Structure 1
Amino acid sequence: MMSFNPYGLIIELNMSNDVDYLNNIISYQPNTPFLYGCHNFYPQVGTGLPFDYFIKCSQRFKKNSIHSAAFVSSKVGKMGPWSVSDGLPTLEMDRKLPIDVQAKQLWATGLIDDVIIGNAYAPEAELAALAQVDRYLLTLDVDFVADINPIEETIVKKPLHFWRGDINSLVIRSTMPRVTHREEENPAHDNELEFQPGDVLVGNDGFGPYKNELQIVRKAHRELRKNKVGSIKQDQLFLLDFLKPWSKFKLK
């Protein structure tokens, strides 16, 4: 009955408890556009939600098309609801991460509509970083090697990449650049080391039809016909787990 209030007030439900409360409410045919869900935030270090539990709780609300929210934490803000303030994230694993990486993770789940900064006050630099995040497309930051050449830099930064659908356990393959840039030469460099998970590779001139194909390493290996052009930033490596066959993504 509250969801049919004459003032258009939104009724917000707690998302951080995996109980049947929401299903019970839905069974009474509420005015669902005026029901929202929001996760808790957790000031005490070690008390934030584990990721698997967060997903389970959030899926209840997604299944019922309930607008949802969760919290990220500023590294600078010290103001919160309690005297203890070790940050204010929803997820414990987010507590030490940069604020934009926290937001990328929440949106990459496909389960969260609104991302809220839990603790005040986030500085201009964090707000600017959040403003750069594309909530609809996972974008990963790459640290380039010193010897990356112009064609490789273009291959990394320009296309809308997608993970080829016939997947393998060795690498994530973005194959269109080898078509678009099949005429450009790409001499070998940084190709004699063992590639590690998260390394970004481009096929060199010795790779025949696979020249200029972009790959992201999933399993360590060696291959002289590939050049290492960079690495996904260490604090974003876990975001690769959100990519699926045919997922679109950007690198910058």
Structure 2
Amino acid sequence: MLGFSYYLDHTFNEDDQNYLQSMKQHHFTEIFTSLHIPEDNQTAYADRLKDLLDHTTSLELSVFVDIDKKSLQNLPQELTGFHLRLDDGFTNQDIAQMSQKSSLALNASTLSESDIAELHSYQANFHNLEAWHNFYPRPETGLDLNWFLQKNQWFKSLGITTQAFIPGDQALRGPIFSGLPTLESQRHQDLLAAAIQLQKNDVDKIFIGDPRLSLKYQNKFYDYFDKGVLDLTLKTNSQFPSYLTNRILHNRPDPAADVIRVVESRGMNALNTETVLPLQSTPRNAGSITIDNQNYGRYMGEVQLIKHDLPLDERVNVLGRIDQASIQLLPYIGANAAFKINTKE
């Protein structure tokens, strides 16, 4: 499940409305926001939350509000229609009582075995409890990957839904503007690669931590999470054949260790040219897209994506190269996996 963040630091406007609609169209289904209400600005924050809820209700987007106990007490009681992500001040007895009525997200990073035992003793409704990790604005402070994986495996053994954040790309949140990831290793990673890594490591809900995700990445997320297609982008294409671009291709069902072998390529090449003549050989660096020439006999016409640096081979022509972000996606193109090589974003 995919989610994104919206922050109450401004009045809801038309640009916000368009963004919410676009994210919904790309199958993001939940929103995270924070409501630590300043004493002198309670009315403004409450009004902004109401405006957000008015629009998310019509779009059928669920909202989780990060809140501490003091801010919850200051929140107007007539505001309803959202879930809580509990911060400071709540006891396990509070949580157990609240879980009887609504869904709650707890701090995954600090939740301990003793907390779980206490929640059981207070008869908490565990069907309404989720474990949400924090995001970390300051560089070098994001979570360690191995610790994170162990924590998530523990939650899965308890049957608890897990959540984590990756950064955005179109607008980063201040005042540091260094992204809002849960994992430090993902602070500068390709966003789709980061999301897939979380998905494959026991994370049920993947949220964008920063205020905006570009349309480029909205499309990439939609193609992968809804259609099962990885979008790659061509970086150099002076000799790249058009019959390979902007269409769905597949890796073989018996995936190779060093390369991705395009199933459709030899048949497609036969329709476009009789012979693949040798070109000047160049090294096959990671991200290179190659085609076997006539010197490779019956393999002529096979197109491959190179996973890691390989030496030049006079039987192989280098056609082009995907960009650095796309290279990070190559490890996720497994057996029978679908992908596209796009000429532009």
Q: State whether TM-score is above 0.5.
A: yes
2:172 counterpart residue number = 77
Between the aligned partners of 2:242 and 2:202, the Cα distance in structure 1 is 38
1:10 counterpart residue number = 103
CA shift for structure 1 position 40: 1.4
CA shift for structure 1 position 247: 5.2
8 Å contact kept, 2:135–2:182: yes
CA shift for structure 1 position 222: 1.6
1:242 counterpart residue number = 332
Q: What TM-score comes out, normalization by structure 1 length?
A: 0.74
Unmatched segments (≥5 aa) in structure 2:
1-94
Of 172, 178, 185 in structure 1, the residue corresponding to residue 260 of structure 2 is 172
CA shift for structure 1 position 248: 0.9
2:49 counterpart residue number = none
CA shift for structure 1 position 50: 3.1
Q: Confirm whether residue 127 of structure 1 aligns to residue 214 of structure 2.
A: yes
Bigger relative CO (Cα 8 Å, ≥ 6 apart): 1
8 Å contact kept, 1:3–1:11: no
Q: Confirm whether residue 91 of structure 1 aligns to residue 183 of structure 2.
A: yes
Which amino acid in structure 2 is aligned with residue 78 of structure 1? R
Query: Pairwise mapping of residues 55-204 of structure 1 onto structure 2 (< 5 A)?
Result: 55-75=149-169, 76-79=171-174, 86-97=178-189, 99-107=191-199, 109=200, 111-119=202-210, 121-122=211-212, 126-132=213-219, 133=221, 134-135=224-225, 137=228, 138-151=230-243, 153-154=244-245, 157-165=246-254, 167-168=256-257, 170-179=258-267, 181-185=269-273, 187-188=276-277, 192-204=281-293
Which amino acid in structure 2 is aligned with residue 13 of structure 1? L
Which amino acid in structure 2 is aligned with residue 240 of structure 1? L
SS at match of 2:329: helix
**How big is the alpha-carbon RMSD for the aligned residues of Structure 1 and Structure 2?**
3.5
> Can you list the C-alpha shifts for 1:169-193, whole angstroms capped at 9, x where unaligned?
x323233432454454253465500
Q: Which moved more, 1:43-52 or 1:31-40?
A: 31-40
2:65 counterpart residue number = none
> Can you list the C-alpha shifts for 1:43-93, whole angstroms capped at 9, x where unaligned?
1111112333333333333455533221122353334xxx65532111212
Between the aligned partners of 2:253 and 2:271, the Cα distance in structure 1 is 22
Between the aligned partners of 1:135 and 1:21, the Cα distance in structure 2 is 36
8 Å contact kept, 2:289–2:319: yes
Between the aligned partners of 1:21 and 1:249, the Cα distance in structure 2 is 45
Q: Which moved more, 1:91-100 or 1:34-43?
A: 91-100
Q: What TM-score comes out, normalization by structure 2 length?
A: 0.57
CA shift for structure 1 position 196: 0.8
> Can you list the C-alpha shifts for 1:114-154, whole angstroms capped at 9, x where unaligned?
322223x32xxx33133212225343333242111233x24
Give the 3 Å change call, closer, same or farther, for CA 24–77 of structure 1 in structure 2. Answer: same
Between the aligned partners of 1:144 and 1:14, the Cα distance in structure 2 is 45
Q: Which has the higher helix share?
A: 2
8 Å contact kept, 2:109–2:134: yes
Which amino acid in structure 1 is aligned with residue 283 of structure 2? E
Percent identity between matched residues is: 24
CA shift for structure 1 position 225: 2.5
Between the aligned partners of 1:84 and 1:210, the Cα distance in structure 2 is 52
Give the 3 Å change call, closer, same or farther, for CA 66–239 of structure 1 in structure 2. Answer: farther
Unmatched segments (≥5 aa) in structure 1:
none
Which amino acid in structure 1 is aligned with residue 154 of structure 2? R
Between the aligned partners of 1:58 and 1:238, the Cα distance in structure 2 is 23
2:91 counterpart residue number = none
Number of residue pairs the alignment of both structures matches: 238
